[in-house]
Amino acid sequence: MMEMTDRFCRVFHRCLSSHALLYSEMVTCNAILHGDRDYLLGFDAFESPVVLQLGGSDPADLAICAKIGEQYGYTQINLNVGCPSDRVQSGRFGACLMAEPALVAECVAAMKAAVSIPVTVKCRIGIDRNDAYEPFAEFVSTVHSGGCDLFIVHARKAWLDGLSPKENRDIPPLRYEFVQKIKQEMPTVSFVLNGGLQSHDQAESLVSDCAVELDGVMFGRLAYKSPWMLSEVDSRYFSQPVRQVSRLDVLERYLPHIEKELAAGTKLGRMTRHMLGLFQGQPGGRLWRRYLSEHAWKPEAGVEVVIEAMRQVESATTRPAA
Ligand SMILES: Cc1cc2nc3c(=O)[nH]c(=O)nc-3n(C[C@H](O)[C@H](O)[C@H](O)COP(=O)(O)O)c2cc1C
């Protein structure tokens, strides 16, 4: 997610789950071909497995960028066919590619020929006011013929005329049944459900509540705003034993990464901004958020800011009720 799932966020999320598949922000082909690649693509092996999401629609450029992504150590390459922003539309990629399934198939085929890691597509169920299921099914079938075996589907349309990107994540109605239906029709293709998921229980019931089980779920905003939910991922979805860890244990795990980044010159606030929701709904949660927001962006801020915020939460938790 743009401006969110940068490498600092992903290291933090990896401290919460060893198995969740994490995604990069969308990186455009133009940026990779002409920009600072290490800055755009570099990541810490600790974050793995990480999927690199590309934005583009030129098959040759995408093939080159997929290869570069593979060389950087990404686990999969994903093509963005869901972003509705004007900037992305004017570059003829993102959600507007839902109208060009043959081109998307060509892009997938070119990327697949260039790499040996999986190439996947993240799409919507449609664009603009057309509510029908058939164009979505045709899109999937055409892109599958280009070699895509895994689709992550944000189960709402994007209205490219008149809604902002933010509105396009909330206003078009969710149609989970489109994803369940296509899985039934194409059981050998993998489908991951995304969009508006509010809990693991809800996600698990949507996965199994259809004739053929879906292949996974993707959490976006919930995982970012309430990262503690990631601590259940390994046991719920990957058959790992339940680990008795606390939020403070997770932070203890993250502290050495913070220290390493600070030593490399990264500002503390770039890391702590992803941690603000860790204690959401918990005693001390507001203190945590406020302390980090007030102190982490100061020029000299170091790891002691996080340690003090942890101490404040801990004392709020252990303080006897008045
Ligand atoms: C700030 C923000 C940035 C996003 N950036 C991307 C992106 O770069 N690529 C992408 O495929 N989806 C992006 N999304 C969409 C999410 O991946 C997800 O599809 C959408 O928010 C619906 O899922 P959710 O309800 O679980 O958040 C972004 C969402 C938000 C809120």
pLDDT digits (tens, 9 = 90+) for 139-181: 999 999 999 999 999 999 999 888 999 999 999 999 999 999 9
- CATH fold for the domain made of 7-237: TIM Barrel (3.20.20)
Q: Where in the chain is the domain with CATH 1.20.120.1460?
A: 247-318
Task: Give 108-118 pLDDT, tens digit per residue.
Answer: 999 999 999 99
Ligand 1 contact via 1 beta carbon (within 6 Å): yes
Ligand 1 contact via 122 beta carbon (within 6 Å): yes
User: What percentage of residues in the chain have a pLDDT greater than 90?
Assistant: 90
pLDDT band at 129 (very low <50, low <70, confident <90, very high): confident
Where does residue 57 fall: left (phi above 0), alpha (psi -120 to 50 degrees), or beta otherwise?
alpha
Tell which atom from ligand 1 comes closest to the C-alpha of 156. 22
Which of 186, 76, 209 has its CA nearest to residue 139?
A: 186
Task: Give 246-267 pLDDT, tens digit per residue.
Answer: 999 999 999 999 999 999 999 9
pLDDT band at 40 (very low <50, low <70, confident <90, very high): very high
CA 15 to ligand 1 center in whole angstroms: 21
What pLDDT score does 162 carry? 83
Residue 54 in contact with residue 29, Cβ under 8 Å?
A: yes
Task: Give 51-76 pLDDT, tens digit per residue.
Answer: 999 999 999 999 999 999 999 999 99
Tell which atom from ligand 1 comes closest to the C-alpha of 196. 25
Which of 244, 215, 217, 220 has its CA nearest to residue 231?
A: 244
* CA 87 – CA 105 distance, rounded (Å): 23
pLDDT band at 86 (very low <50, low <70, confident <90, very high): confident
Of 212-216, 272-276, 314-318, least confident by mean pLDDT is 314-318
CA 1 to ligand 1 center in whole angstroms: 5
The residue whose CB lies within 8 Å of the most ligand 1 atoms, and thus the one to mutate among 40, 93, 169, 273, is 169
CA 6 to ligand 1 center in whole angstroms: 13
* CA 50 – CA 265 distance, rounded (Å): 24
Ligand 1 contact via 153 beta carbon (within 6 Å): no
Q: Where in the chain is the domain with CATH 3.20.20.70?
A: 7-237
* 322 pLDDT more than 60: no
What pLDDT score does 243 carry? 87
* 282 pLDDT more than 70: yes
pLDDT band at 131 (very low <50, low <70, confident <90, very high): confident
Q: From 3.30.43.10, 3.40.50.720, 1.20.120.1460, 1.10.287.610, which CATH number describes the 247-318 domain?
A: 1.20.120.1460
58, HSE (Cβ side, Cα atoms, 13 Å): 9
